[in-house]
Structures are given as C-alpha cells and as structure tokens.
Structure 1
C-alpha cells in the first residue's frame, strides 16, 4: 500500500539523493550500480503498483501532438542554431558533416539507451506514482522539471541545467496531456538529437566534437 510518508521517502531517495550523489566524486562502478538498482526498482514498481505495460495506447491524438511538436521544434532549431553560430561557428553541424557514421550511431544509442529509460523514470514513473503528492498540475510539472534538471547535475554545466529544466517543462506537459511514454520519448529524442547535430553535444558528453 502506498502511504504519503513512504512515497515522500521514495521520492527523496530516487529523485534527490541519488542524482546529487552522482555529482559527488567516488567510484564510478558504485554509481553505475546505484543507477541500475534504482532503474530496476522503478520498473518493478511500475509493473506491480502502477500496472504499466508500455504498450502504445490506442486512440492517441497524434495530429495534435505533431502540430505542437513542429512549432516547438522549429523554435528550438532557430534558437540553438543562432546560439552555436554566435558562440563558435566551427561547431555548427560539426559531427554530421565530419563523421556521419558516428552521427547515425549516436542517434540510435541516445534514443534507445538514454531517452527511453529517462522518460520511463522521469515521466511515466514520476507522474503515475506521485500524483497524490502533487495535485496541482502546474506545480507537478515544475517539480518534475526541477528533478529532471537535477539529474544532470553531474555535468556541472549551468546551461545544461537550464536546458534540461526547460525540457522537463515541455516533456512534463506532453506526458500529462497524452499519458504516453512513446510520444514524450519521441519529443525528447528529437530535441536531444538536434542538440548533438547542431553542435551542442560537447556539453552533454557526446563524442566526436573534437576538431
């Protein structure tokens, strides 16, 4: 049975204590072990307590999703392209132009081994599990964006924290609107892969940015 205190302790452990600990210097294999254990705990809880099966739900409003995504993606493209242009023109589309094979590999690896697990944890599990704790929709999305940004603290980069907070707001809104891990993963993958393509991958530890 889910109790409020139990959920609060679980929330603090998984979404505050664990991410902050990853930013503290200690053995990497211990960090990896902590993340793996946390992820499998989340999968167990989703299946046992929340009864989530990850099938693509019928009746999704794909048209509405794509209309909004096109608009927001175009804004992201304009803003990030201008940013890279003014910061360092040589980085603009560096990897797709200079190492297209690596670029294609990263698209697949990032989408399926990074984006999908993140969306299971930070959208599907978070919103299905903690709705009883945060009943105000706007505040719920805000808290989700905060902890999603916190998960990237180990990058030690202010811009990364800002971008992931903004991403968290967008992804949180998408998940609550459509209740679909698939749709929010598509959105996340599109933005993340674009950042790598446009030349902002170095701050996110993507390979291939060296000249």
Structure 2
C-alpha cells in the first residue's frame, strides 16, 4: 500500500492481510488524519477564500489521476470496486426507490418555496441543461466518486474506525468541497447526498452504482431549479 514513505510491498495480499492494513500505528494514523483534514477541509477553505477562480475540472481530474494511481498500487485495494457491475445490479433498485422519494420531496419543496426557480434550466436554458445532462455524469460524477468514495474509504479506513465514522468522514469531505460555491443550500444538499453516496458505496463497493445514484441526484438538482447553487456559471 501507499504511505508517506513511498510504495510498500507489491506482493499480493490475502483477505486477512488486506483487513490488517486498516490497523495503523499511532504515528501513521495521526499523519493520515492531518492529511485528510488538510486535503479535504483546508484546501477547499483556501480556494473559497481566494478571489481567484480556478478551473474546477482541471483540479478534479488532477485529483482523480493522483487518487487512481495510489489506489492502483495499493495491493489491499480491490480494483473491482472502481466499477463492480454486479454490486451495481444488486443495489440499483433500492437506490432508485430512495431517489424517487428524494425527487418528490425536493421537487415539492422547490415548487413551493421558490416557484420562480421551478424547472428553470429546462425552461429557460434548455441547451445548457441538455449539455449538463450529457457531460455531468462522465466529467464530474465518476471522478468525484473515485476521490470521495473509493479513495477516502481506502486511504482513511484505519483513521475512522467503524462504519458510521467512515460514512460521516466521506460525507463531510464531499460536502465541504462545495464551500467554494458560497451558499448554504449547496452544503445542505451535498451533506445529504454525501451521506447517501457514502452509505451506498460502503454496502455495494461499486463506484458504478454510486455514480449512477450521484448522477440521478445531481441532474435532479439541476432540473428542479437549484442548479445555480452548485454551478459557478449559474
């Protein structure tokens, strides 16, 4: 696996050995905790505070490349998790049912509280909406789930012990990344979404399933009229 001291053994590991890698010594655990806070909370705070605008897709793909390389050379990581169609098939119906419920609740709230925003993109900026529907799942959703689900769960599983702690760590990191949009709605939406996505990944170990789920919720947000809260061009 990867540590700050570089690549460790490249030999295969048994399930028992893989599980053992989650147990970090005190120094390594503290280091990874500091690393987690710096990368997933400190860096977004700095980006939010600076008046400069950074190319978000460039930063996201840079993070994707680094995280993928680290996962690839971590012999305790099951690479099938980066897709895992079997896990996606097993969990799809449950994820879809929860999304339908979420769509009804969120859509009703937007229609009631801000009727002027209801279906804004499909009605007023149809071309942009169609473009988002086409490219958002590929260019934004999948990379985010490699970083905030696969990488966070693998890299920091020895720091946040217990299923609930790991879910909350992933969800809060994902939520705080959206502080750059400077509005509480984005943080509220992504905290709720982060908890759902983290739990889905934890139970399915399928980035494919989480990405489908994430795309459905994200496109729902853009469609019902809240896209401006999570889109710098809005």
TM-score in same-fold range (> 0.5): yes
Give how far 1:206 is off. Answer: 6.5
Give distance in 1, aligned partners of 2:61 and 2:155.
Answer: 19
Task: Indicate if the aligned counterparts of 1:22 and 1:31 stay in contact, CA closer than 8 A.
Answer: no
TM-score, normalised by the number of residues in structure 2 = 0.78
CA–CA distance in 2 between the matches of 1:21 and 1:151? 11
Equivalent-residue separation in structure 2 for 1:47 and 1:191 (angstroms): 28
Match of 1:185 among 196, 211, 214: 211
2:112 match:
86
Report the CA distance between 1:54 and its aligned residue.
Answer: 6.3
Map of 1:123 onto structure 2: 149
1:155-203 Cα shifts (integer Å, max 9, x gaps): 1111211111111110000001010111000000000001111111111
Residue equivalent to 1:137: 163
The yes-or-no answer on 1:5 pairing with 2:30 is yes
Which of 36, 52, 56 is matched with 1:27 structurally?
A: 52
Residue 137 of structure 1, CA deviation: 0.3
The number of residues matched between the two structures is 207
Greater mean alpha carbon deviation, residues 75-84 or residues 97-106:
97-106
Q: Does 1:72 align with 2:110?
A: no
Match runs of 1:24-173 below 5 Å:
24-29=49-54, 37-49=62-74, 50=77, 52=79, 56-57=83-84, 59-60=86-87, 62-63=89-90, 65-173=91-199
Relative distance call for 1:109 and 1:70 in structure 2 (3 A) is: same
What TM-score comes out, normalization by structure 1 length?
0.86
- Once residues 189 and 78 of structure 1 are traced to their aligned partners in structure 2, the CA distance between those partners, rounded to angstroms, is 17
CA gap 1:16/1:61 in 2 versus in 1, 3 angstroms = closer
Q: Is the 8 A contact 1:196 1:206 kept in 2?
A: no
**Offset of 1:27 from its aligned partner?**
3.2
User: How many Å separate the matches in 2 of 1:120 and 1:107?
Assistant: 20
**Contact kept in structure 2, 1:20 and 1:153, CA below 8 Å:** yes
